[in-house]
Structure 1
Amino acid sequence: MRVRRRACGEEGRAEHGTAHGADLVVGVVAARTGRLASLGDPLAFAVSLVEPRLTRITNGHRTHAVRLVCRDSRSTAEGARRAVRELVADEGARIVLTLAGTQVLPAAADACEEAGVPCVSSTFPWQVYYYGRGASDVAPFRWTYHFCWGLDAIAATFADLWELAGGPGRTVGCLWNDGPQGGWSRDTERGFAGTARARGHHLVDPAAYSEPAADLSGHVAAFEAAGTDIVTSAATGRDLALFRATAVERGSTPRLITCSRWLAYPPSATSGDRQRPAQANVATLVYWTPSHPYRSSLDGMTAAQLAEAYEQATGRQWLQPLGPAYALFEVAAYALRTAEDPTDPAAVAAAVGRTRLETVAGTLDWTAGPVPNVATVPLAGGQWQPGRRHDYELAVLTNPHVDGLVADADLMPLR
């Protein structure tokens, strides 16, 4: 399937159209410039794919024209806030969609909360999204909704991989930064650490490093002194590449590295040595692949067809966030179609809150929790292994939670 790919912000119907008063506008905040630009590719591609398929919405006995309008976050929190303001004030957005960016996604969601417009987002651990933005179990957000996995699910998935590598009760080195990823990973109540320790694993956590890291030799030395042969992290590709090079220099390469965040992307989408990319044989979380048995509620497209459309249109390897990116539009369409009044932001927000929908990213159910405003996504465990179609491909190693997804490979040593 060949798709005419339009970047967010390129002139056309996705950016300019008729006066917004008569239309239902779906606003999109995506990074198209700046350091996160490559991470914005899945959402930008989803816009180009969905746009000709989502031109009208029927709600009850009325049919409404739909416009997709995209704004560039410029990979910054302030850029995300400005994008939301423009979408709401200039375009009359009825709902805003976004994903990716540790600082950018919360800023976009907060701006929607302040503007009184519903927002749906993904690909950001839900505890950081929810508690990190100031909500509580008894004081949820009014306008902003999210679907994703949790830090507890990442820890459980990584524990499965650690035990696959060496059995129960492993000593694991923690390569965690001094930002939100590291802080929330250390949280013993709602973060990664509590779940990992409850599984019987001992965590070795040296002093936090600042991104971008300049020297990780202290972490390598601390892990070596503790006798760790497994390392876990949420590092960028650049920082993980630095850690791996430092470990090789010291002759203390771990048996296994588990890493989330940017390492869920293939090597071509992150920084690192192209001869030995940071992801090579690194284990990571698996939340969406062409093999997931999911189908879109918009058009019946399968996960495999979505991945193929991306590869044919871009010439690049499929990306895990493609599934959540496309599902954002499924949720928006469903909310506009089922809201008591799709022109009323409060009614659209309420419709998202009662949504249970089968999407190309799986079943999204905001009625089930774990907290208000959040729907969860199950994880499998995988590893970047040498592939047939691409230099490295994401193999599924463990899968206790995703029905119909086959674990199709054995764990390969890091060395």
Structure 2
Amino acid sequence: MNGPSLPRRTLLKGVGLGALAAGTAACGSIKGSGDKAGDKIVIGFVSPQTGPLAGFASGDRFVVDRVRGTAAYTGGFAVGGKTYDVEIVVKDTQSDPSRASQVARELILRDHADIILTSSTPETTNPVATVCEAQGIPCVSTVVPWEAWYFSRQADPKNPKPFTYTTMFFFGVDQFGGCFVPMWERVSTNKTVAGMFPNDADGNAFRDAYPAILKKSGYKWVDGGAYTDGTTAFSSMISKFKSEECEIFTNAPLPPDFNTMWRQAAQQGFRPKLATVAKVLLFPADTVALGPLVKNIATDSWWGPYMPNTSSLDGESAKQLAEAYQSASGKQWLQTLGSVYSLFEIAQKAFTSVDTPRDRRAVATALQKLNYSGISGVLDFTRGPVPGVAIQQPVGVQWKEGDGRFPYEMVVVDNSLNPAVKIGADLTPTNP
């Protein structure tokens, strides 16, 4: 398998290697489910259900309950000729990387988890995966760029080594480029791109890889600077973008930071022709804070009711899952519904392919070899870009005015990476 060729930073900050190593050292000699007997498989699930990242996890409880109700879970997992009951234990990180490490240790020590599933940003997935790798517990992560998940957890990012127990699915900077650049090409601009990337795992991964992607496509890169998460004053960054006459904007910040910056940009007259954002405006709740300023901002979509995918657990379609959530909650569907659902599909696939759920190494190996089709489409963990990583192909969407039920909705405007998804509307400049 060919390794990644893009240059990376030696140390990614935010949830950097040092902090993760400290969290792992605190684990001590944890004993997990491999040391207990019984007819039950325990699945731990970790996500940021409260705090500034809570938008990512607002549908998680619904998905967990939905999965619990499938025949595959209510009937138990058939493993090695024996049926095991399945218990799902949910933990909240409170959007805190230190707490993410803590609850992962709790799942191993107190709840005797046989596998841990985790979702939503490196602030969540990386500490959890690091604890699991150190303690030999199978783990699957999602909703995190693979570069931010993989390289920031390496002792030597320049000479990375495959992980044994931890796997993930999502996509990376190349797919962001493959999603965003085709949209840029359809708007007449001077090809000057403003980049808002913080000094954290996501921001640094983008900052390292984007210049090469932009250069290859004929675009000029203007970096706004590696600011600290939680910054509230962006005037100097905005001034730089204006002076460089940036007509395209892209980013990967925490959602509250983007909301602050985008309001200040509007007040200070920075109006790029097209804004393509990552990590923010992924969910309907994010649009409320910005109101009309959200109109025609583009982003990536890795899952939605427009995806032609069905559940491997019970055959439910992506559209049916989205509509079920809206009916049950009264809220608009969100992308992480499919991602979190897929975590539990993967767990079921892995356990039912081994002889015993207590053989952690066998379960981890099954995860590494998994290739199946489910609610998130085809997920093939054998193809890379590095071992244990499955890549999704996102589509480009814009926030358009809704149909009456909701003020704004995601509409597919580019399917360059995923032609199976139908286009729903023409791409429109963010600021004509």
Instruction: Give the TM-score normalised by structure 1.
Output: 0.89
Distance 1:271 1:373 in 2: 37
Q: Identity percentage over the alignment?
A: 34
Matches of 2:257 and 2:55 in 1, distance apart?
A: 17
CA distance in 1 between counterparts of 2:78 and 2:428 reads 51
Q: CA RMSD in A?
A: 1.9
For residues 102 and 365 of structure 2, the distance between their equivalents in structure 1, rounded to whole angstroms, comes to: 25
CA contact (8 A) 1:244 1:253 kept: no
Contact kept? 2:287, 2:408, Cα under 8 Å: no
Q: Which residue of 1 aligns with 2:59?
A: 42
For residues 214-229 of structure 1, the aligned pairs below 5 Å read 214-229=232-247
Report the residue type matching 1:412 in the other structure: T
Partner SS for 1:158: helix
Q: Does 1:408 align with 2:419?
A: no
> Paired residue for 1:319?
334
Deviations 1:282-338 (A, max 9, x none): 110111110100011011010001101111111111001111110000000000000
SS of the counterpart of 2:400? strand
Alpha-carbon separation, structure 2, partners of 1:379 and 1:304: 17
Letter in 2 for 1:294: N
For residue 28 of structure 2, what is the aligned residue in structure 1?
none
Quote how far apart the aligned CAs of 1:80 are. 1.3
SS at match of 1:358: strand
Amino acid at match of 1:123: V
Q: Distance in 1 between matches of 2:270 and 2:96?
A: 37
Distance 1:340 1:282 in 2: 49
1:23 maps to a residue whose letter is K
Q: Distance in 2 between matches of 1:183 and 1:72?
A: 26
User: Does the CA contact (< 8 Å) of 2:169 and 2:379 recur in 1?
Assistant: yes
- Whether the aligned pair in 2 keeps the contact of 1:155 and 1:193 (CA below 8 Å) is no
Distance in 2 between the 1:243 and 1:411 partners? 24
Do the aligned partners of residues 253 and 405 (structure 1) sit closer, same or farther apart at CA in structure 2, a change above 3 Å counting?
A: same
Rounded to whole Å, the distance in 2 between the matches of 1:329 and 1:199 is 38
Determine the C-alpha separation between the residues in 1 that align with 2:254 and 2:49.
19
Aligned to 1:83: 103
Cα shift readout 1:6-38 (whole Å, capped 9, x = no counterpart): xxxxxxxxxxxxx97320111111223333233
- Judge conservation of contact 1:237–1:270 (CA < 8 Å) in 2: no
* Distance in structure 2 (CA, Å) of the matches to 1:238 and 1:272: 9
CA distance, structure 2, for counterparts of residue 193 and residue 42 of structure 1: 35
Q: Secondary structure at the match of 1:341?
A: coil
In the TM superposition, residue 195 of structure 1 has moved relative to its aligned partner by 1.6
Structure-1 separation of matches of 2:37 and 2:249: 51
The structure-2 alpha-carbon separation of the partners of 1:208 and 1:216, relative to structure 1 and needing over 3 Å to count, comes to same
Look up the SS of the partner of 1:146 in the other structure: strand
Matched pairs, number: 390
1:392 aligned to 408, 411, 420, which one?
408
Write out aligned runs for 1:10-409 (5 A).
21-53=38-70, 54-55=73-74, 56-134=76-154, 139-166=161-188, 170-187=191-208, 191-266=209-284, 268-269=285-286, 272-273=289-290, 275-276=291-292, 279-388=294-403, 389-409=405-425
> What is the distance in 1 between the residues matched to 2:424 and 2:81?
48
> Do the aligned partners of 1:102 and 1:180 also contact (CA within 8 Å) in 2?
yes
Cα contact 2:414–2:427 (8 A) shared by 1: no
Shift of 1:341: 2.2
1:166-194: CA deviation from partner (whole Å, max 9, x where unpaired) = 26x7111112222222211111xxx2332
Shift of 1:39: 2.1
Give the Cα–Cα distance (whole angstroms) in 1 for the partners of residues 393 and 37 of structure 2: 37
The superposition leaves residues 50-72 of structure 1 with CA deviations (integer Å, 9 ceiling, x where unpaired) of: 11221301124221111111122
Q: Which of the pair has the greater relative contact order for Cα pairs under 8 Å at 6+ separation?
A: 2
- Corresponding residue number in structure 1 for 2:20: none
Contact 2:48 2:54 in 1 (8 A): yes
Q: Deviations over 1:89-145 (max 9, x none)?
A: 222211110101332210011111122100001000001111121176762111100
Alpha-carbon contact 1:94-1:344 (below 8 Å) kept: no
Q: Structure 1: 5+ residue runs without aligned partners?
A: 1-18
- Distance in 2, matches of 1:284 and 1:20, equals 47
Separation in structure 2 between the aligned mates of residue 373 and residue 121 of structure 1, nearest angstrom: 11
Residue 357 of structure 1 and its aligned partner are, at CA, apart by: 0.9
The aligned amino acid for 2:423 is: A
Check the 8 A contact 2:234/2:261 in 1, yes or no: yes
Amino acid at match of 2:41: L
